[in-house]
């Protein structure tokens, strides 16, 4: 899975990570993995304590998203991550050398030499054990319990992560920074992230924010609902998510509903960087009826960048912001004499 | 055989009513009185787009697929004289699924919109010929219905293994598309696809309807039918091929939708008796109405999202069937 389905109800409290602070894991609830199980899994993150860890011998201690303590004697040096967004985070923190495996979704060339564990849904336990990792980063949802339970039984520390919002990304940067002894890199990452997001927020487009339909995957159409990092990215980029009122985080939506809502802009995630794909499937029934598609107000984005709640969120927001600026510019031109008036522009039906 | 016309008339009225309701409700409500003006282009905008490009083709697809599956189910039950016979008894669902899943896992689904229906159709035909070959090889020159069922089961099991193999190497996105396809849904309806489907369904349906008398005689045993002048082997082979083609075409455009072809013929038989002059056309009409109802529910029940139609046909069809079974007996 390229993202996890767990959502935090409260944003984690993040302070400057001091070696003794245990980052916070808030009470959470699990969302149904939209693709297979419709069973609602009730999460169990307990309210955690910011307890000081007195012991000096274990300075590398954090609490993971399942409320379990991860305690390392040494900074992690042999890391297996089965979550692509967290793999990217490890690399961003400058600890890419510590990675000893990859999954088929980790397509970064610098990881190509590592053994692949295959997909992320059912990674091979023996293969992971064989790599003698001193830290495994695994999904926090219940589906993956057997794997992490057995790893822990063998004494391999497991860091359970769920990533749904941008705040989660910040929190993981800090906690992984601690486990990898890269606190400075984590702090630097947070500063850069804040600065880049703030720059976009302070640069709104003229007129009303264009309504954005984000297609996570087109068959069947699935979008990003409220409480997701993609919803936040759309907002930071100066748009408004047209399915913000959906009842779930990753709702499957019908073509009729898409036509009825009539978004200004359609953004579609395409696999790898196959720009080709979008042009083809937008010819499927219904899509051609959307004014946004007919007038070419569509953007194909790389799913590996956009569908991943990792260090790439700022870049994703910047790409979307630039595109929405272009669209807003077109509408301003259409508005003719009102081009000067910021509030009059921004409609293009 | 009295009462055929009024009963079929009742079903036509039912189907028309269901179609009107189905066209009217959905994510956007279109009042029945506005349907005709919208079609004539007197009402513009989103409602018209939804009506013309999404909802009407979908209603037509549901009628074609539901009718074809129920008609094929009736045919297979008549030929095999086995109450468990259904449209997929010759392994067609497994073959179609292998074709469709292979296309999706190879990543061709997004590039070539027609690749999935084509893959499913080719897979279905492959399965059908494989099953007939196996049955011929095992049963000699005659098509023994027990051997045929057995061949269908083993070929189906083999295809299932291939599907699991493909799914286990699929990536997340293809996996999701493949599972959705296998649950059966009508959201891919287009006028072009419907036209293609009609090229199979219209002649196929007429051919099968013409076989009502031989089917009635076959029901009394193959020997009896032979002595009453039915060319048994030829009739059986023709019926198998035509019914399978109907199912293959339906599966190509709608995925594997279960229970319509099993339940509708049985329900009609329980209600109106086994005569095929009524049963064959009635099963087409009732199957069409049933699938259309199921698809309408699938569209609206968790709006703005959609359920796979195949889920509804099983959820609604099985209790209905059990009710009929308990009340009337087989």
Q: What is the pLDDT of residues B123-142, one digit of tens each?
A: 999 998 999 888 888 877 77
User: CB contact, 8 Å: A124 with chain B?
Assistant: no
Q: Which of A5, A85, A83, A65 is nearest to A37 (CA)?
A: A5
Tokens of A41: 């899994």
**Closest Cα to residue B97, out of B147, B158, B154, B149?**
B158
Top-confidence residue, B303 or A188: A188
Mutate to test the interface with B, among A116, A215, A226, A254 (most CBs of B within 10 A): A254
Residue-wise pLDDT for B27-54, tens only, equals: 778 888 888 887 777 777 778 888 888 8
Which residues of B fall within a CB distance of 8 Å from A260?
27-28, 46, 50
Show residues of chain B in contact with A3, CB under 8 Å.
none
Mean pLDDT across chain B: 88
Task: Calculate how close chain B gets to A284, using CA atoms only, in Å.
Answer: 7
A221 to chain B: closest CA residue: B305
Cβ–Cβ < 8 Å for B252, B192: no
B233 vs B17: CA distance, rounded Å: 41
Q: Which DSSP string do the residues of A44-78 spell out, in sequence order?
A: -PPP---PPP--SS--EEEE-TTS-EEEESS---S
Sign of the dihedral through C-alpha B268, B273, B274, B279: negative
pLDDT at A54: 47
Per CB-CB distance under 8 Å, the chain B contacts of A288 are: 53
Interface of B with A in 153-212 (CB under 8 A): 171-173, 175-177, 179-180, 185, 187-190
Stretch B214-241: mean pLDDT: 87
Q: Indicate whether this complex's ipTM tops 0.90.
A: no
- For chain A, say whether B224 makes contact (Cβ under 8 Å): no
Burial A10-37 (b: 16+ CB within 10 A, else e): eebebeebeeebbbbbbebebbbbbbee
Domains of chain A: 6-197 (3.40.50.1980), 206-340 (3.40.50.1980)
The two three-digit tokens of residue B206, written as one number:
């007429």
State mean pLDDT over B20-25: 91
Q: What angle do CA A99, B167, B58 make, to 5 degrees?
A: 125
Environment class of A97 (CB within 10 Å of its CB; exposed 0-12, middle 13-18, buried 19+): exposed
Residue B70 pLDDT greater than 80, yes or no: yes
Taking the C-alpha atoms of residue B11 and residue B3, their distance in angstroms, rounded to an integer, is: 13
Put simply, whether B45 touches A (Cβ < 8 Å) is no
pLDDT value of residue A269: 86
Q: Is A333 on the interface with B (CB under 8 A)?
A: no
Count the helix, strand and coil residues of chain B and give each as a percent rounded to the nearest 5.
75, 0, 25
∠ CA A207-A287-A233, rounded to 5°: 45
B26 touches chain A (CB under 8 A): yes
Nearest-Cα distance to chain B for A298, in Å, is: 16
Identify the closest residue of chain B to A246 by CA–CA distance. B304
* Domain limits, chain B: 4-328
Query: Are B293 and B99 contacting, i.e. CB atoms less than 8 angstroms apart?
Result: no
The structure tokens listed for B26 are 């959905």
The CA–CA distances, whole Å, from B15 to B20, B59, B246 equal 9, 11, 20
Mind listing the pLDDT tens digit of every residue in chain A (349 residues)? Answer: 344 434 333 334 333 333 333 333 333 333 333 333 333 333 333 333 344 444 455 689 899 998 889 999 889 999 999 999 999 999 999 999 999 998 888 888 888 899 888 776 677 788 888 899 999 999 887 666 778 888 888 889 999 999 999 999 999 999 999 999 999 999 999 999 999 999 999 999 998 999 999 998 877 888 999 999 999 999 999 999 999 998 888 888 888 889 989 999 999 888 754 444 555 667 677 888 888 888 888 898 888 899 999 999 999 999 999 999 998 877 655 443 333 333 333 333 3
Note the pLDDT of residue A40.
32
For B108, nearest residue in chain A (alpha carbons): A277
Task: Please tell me the distance from the alpha carbon of residue B106 to that of residue B115, in angstroms, as a whole number.
Answer: 11
What's the rounded Cα separation, in Å, for the pair B196 and B189? 11
Q: Are B254 and B261 in contact (CB under 8 A)?
A: no
**Distance, C-alpha A23 to centroid of its chain:** 19
- Residue (of B98, B97, B24) closest to B55 by Cα position: B24
Q: Does domain B4-328 have CATH number 1.10.3470.10?
A: yes
Of A218, A262, A285, the CB nearest to B189: A285
Note whether B49 contacts A289, CB cutoff 8 Å.
yes
Give the pLDDT confidence score for residue A279 in this predicted structure: 57
The model's pLDDT over B151-167, given as tens digits with 9 standing for 90+, comes to 998 999 999 999 999 98
What's the pLDDT at A280?
62
Chain B residues close to A263, C-beta within 8 Å:
none
Give A119's contacts in chain B (Cβ within 8 Å): 171-172
Distance from the Cα of B24 to chain A's closest Cα (Å) equals: 12
Those of residues 187-226 in A touching chain B at CB distance below 8 A are: 217-220, 222
Question: Which of B26, B110, B191 would best serve as a mutation to test chain A binding (most A beta carbons within 10 A)?
Answer: B110
Output the pLDDT for position A173.
Answer: 96
Residue B146 predicted with pLDDT over 90: no
Whether residue A262 lies within 8 A of chain B, CB to CB, comes out as: yes
Q: Do B111 and A277 touch (CB under 8 A)?
A: yes
User: Percent of chain B scored above 90 by pLDDT?
Assistant: 42
B156: tokens are 């189906």
Distance CA B91, CA A18 (A): 64
CB pair distance less than 8 Å for B172 and A1: yes
Picking from B104, B110, B306, the nearest residue to A218 by CB comes out as B110
Q: Which residues contact B320 (CB under 8 A, 6 or more apart)?
A: B263, B267
A330 and B CB contact within 8 Å: no
- B182 within 8 A of B94, measured Cβ to Cβ: no
Residues of A in contact with B53 (CB under 8 A): 285-286, 288-289
Checking if the pLDDT of B201 tops 90, the result is yes
Q: With beta carbons less than 8 A apart as the criterion, state whether B72 and B243 touch.
A: yes
Residues of A in contact with B306 (CB under 8 A): 220, 252-254
pLDDT score recorded for residue A91: 95
Question: With an 8 Å Cβ cutoff, are A119 and B172 in contact?
Answer: yes
CA proximity to B281, closest of B292, B265, B257:
B265
Residue B43 is encoded by which pair of tokens?
Answer: 């009402």
Query: Using a CB-CB distance cutoff of 8 angstroms, which residues of chain A are in contact with residue B55?
Result: 256
> Between chains, do A255 and B187 touch, taking CB under 8 Å as contact?
yes
Strand partners, B185: none
B112 compared with A33, residue with greater pLDDT: B112
Residue A291 CB-density burial (10 A; 0-12 exposed, 13-18 middle, 19+ buried): middle
The structure tokens 């038989």 sit at B269
Closest-CA distance, B177 to chain A, in angstroms, reads 6
Q: Do B50 and A256 touch (CB under 8 A)?
A: yes
């Amino acid at each position: 899975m390229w993202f996890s389905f767990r959502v935090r109800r409260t944003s984690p409290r993040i302070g400057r990570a001091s070696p003794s602070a245990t980052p916070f894991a808030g009470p959470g609830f699990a969302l149904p993995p939209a693709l297979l199980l419709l069973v609602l899994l009730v999460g169990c993150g307990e309210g955690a304590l910011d307890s000081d860890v007195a012991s000096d011998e274990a300075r590398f201690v954090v609490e993971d998203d399942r409320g379990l303590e991860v305690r390392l004697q040494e900074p992690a040096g042999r890391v297996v991550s089965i979550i692509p967004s967290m793999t990217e985070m490890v690399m961003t923190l400058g600890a890419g050398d510590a990675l000893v495996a990859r999954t088929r979704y980790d397509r970064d060339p610098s990881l190509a030499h590592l053994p692949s564990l295959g997909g992320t849904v059912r990674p091979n336990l023996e293969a992971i054990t064989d790599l003698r990792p001193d830290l495994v980063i695994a999904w926090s949802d219940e589906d993956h319990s057997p794997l992490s339970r057995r790893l822990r039984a063998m004494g391999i520390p497991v860091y359970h992560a769920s990533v749904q919002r941008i705040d989660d990304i910040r929190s993981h940067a800090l906690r992984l920074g601690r486990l990898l002894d890269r606190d400075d890199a984590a702090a630097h990452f947070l500063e850069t992230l804040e600065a880049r997001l703030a720059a976009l927020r302070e640069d709104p487009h003229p007129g009303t924010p264009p309504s954005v339909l984000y297609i996570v995957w087109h068959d069947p159409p699935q979008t990003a609902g409220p409480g997701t990092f993609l919803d936040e990215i759309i907002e930071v980029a100066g748009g408004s998510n047209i399915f913000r009122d959906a009842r779930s985080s990753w709702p499957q939506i019908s073509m009729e509903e898409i036509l009825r809502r009539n978004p200004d802009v359609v953004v579609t995630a395409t696999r790898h960087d196959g720009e080709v794909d979008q042009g083809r499937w937008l010819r499927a029934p219904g899509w051609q009826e959307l004014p946004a598609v007919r007038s070419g107000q569509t953007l194909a984005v790389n799913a590996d960048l956009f569908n991943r709640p990792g260090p790439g969120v700022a870049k994703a927001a910047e790409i979307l912001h630039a595109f929405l600026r272009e669209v807003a510019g077109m509408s301003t031109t259409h508005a003719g004499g009102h081009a000067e008036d910021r509030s009059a522009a921004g409609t293009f039906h | 055989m009295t009462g055929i016309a009024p009963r079929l008339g009742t079903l036509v009225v039912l189907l028309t009513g269901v179609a009107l309701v189905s066209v009217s409700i959905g994510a956007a409500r279109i009042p029945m009185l506005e349907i005709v003006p919208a079609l004539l282009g007197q009402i513009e905008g989103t409602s018209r787009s939804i009506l013309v490009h999404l909802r009407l083709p979908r209603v037509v697809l549901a009628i074609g697929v539901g009718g074809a599956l129920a008609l094929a189910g009736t045919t297979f039950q008549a030929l095999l004289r086995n109450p468990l016979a259904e449209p997929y008894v010759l392994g067609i669902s497994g073959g179609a699924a292998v074709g469709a899943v292979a296309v999706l896992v190879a990543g061709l689904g997004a590039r070539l919109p027609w690749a999935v229906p084509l893959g499913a159709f080719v897979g279905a035909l492959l399965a059908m010929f494989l099953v007939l070959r196996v049955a011929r090889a095992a049963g000699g020159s005659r098509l023994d219905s027990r051997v045929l069922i057995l061949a269908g089961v083993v070929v189906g099991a083999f295809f299932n293994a291939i599907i699991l193999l493909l799914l286990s190497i699929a990536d997340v996105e293809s996996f999701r598309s493949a599972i959705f396809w296998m649950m059966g849904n009508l959201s891919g309806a287009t006028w072009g696809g419907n036209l293609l489907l009609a090229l199979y369904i219209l002649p196929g349906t007429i051919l099968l309807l013409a076989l009502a008398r031989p089917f009635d005689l076959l029901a009394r045993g193959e020997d009896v039918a032979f002595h009453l002048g039915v060319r048994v082997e030829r009739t059986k082979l023709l019926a198998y091929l035509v019914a399978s083609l109907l199912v293959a075409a339906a599966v190509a455009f709608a995925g594997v939708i279960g229970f319509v072809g099993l339940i509708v013929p049985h329900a009609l038989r329980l209600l109106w008796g086994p005569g095929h002059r009524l049963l064959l056309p009635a099963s087409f009409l009732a199957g069409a109405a049933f699938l259309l109802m199921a698809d309408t529910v699938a569209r609206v029940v968790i709006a703005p999202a959609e359920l796979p139609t195949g889920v509804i046909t099983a959820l609604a069809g099985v209790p209905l069937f059990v009710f009929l079974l308990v009340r009337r007996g087989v």
